[in-house]
Amino acid sequence: MRFPRLPFALFLLVTLCACATRPPEVVSGEIFYQHAGEPVSQIRYASLIAWQPAGDSAVLMRFDRQRYYLIELGEPCPFNLRFAVRLGVDTSMPGRINRFDMVTVEGDRCRIIEMRPVDYEALQEALGERWRRPSGSDPGQNHSGGT
């Protein structure tokens, strides 16, 4: 009995292509930094509305009043942000985040390196239609805030 090589080769080719095709900004996070402002020393907020991974070591967070910040995380952190389901913020003062606070990812505490405001409308425009969602929602709504 002969082994059907062509279907197997096509299956292998499609599988490898699917694994290898990721947008560059998912890997590097550069596009998020291109639309981020200067670092800030603190963020005042009432609630963390949503979050989304922004590369391997940063998170885009949406706070009340449609404010978005790029939070760069440092060690110790497992950097499994793309697969994380739970994220929270451990603050020393309620309603305020500073560089000495921690972000909790799946129970692991990650040090905050830097916080930058993001021009979210410009980011959406740069990313194009693949980030657009129906009924006015945004990519940050893929994950809920808090732990």
Tens digit of each residue's pLDDT, the chain (147 residues): 554 554 443 343 333 333 333 343 343 588 999 999 999 999 999 999 999 999 888 999 999 989 999 999 997 777 678 888 889 999 999 999 999 999 998 888 999 999 999 999 999 888 875 454 433 334 444 444 444
Buried b (16+ CB within 10 A) or exposed e, 85-105: eebbbebeeeeebeeebbbbb
Q: Looking at the whole model, is its pTM more than 0.75?
A: no
| Sequential DSSP letters for 31-94 | HHHHTB-S--SEEE-S-EEEEEE-SSSEEEEEETTTEEEEEEEESS----GGG---EEEE-SBT
Task: For the chain, give every domain's residue range.
Answer: 25-144
Partners of 94 in beta bridges: none
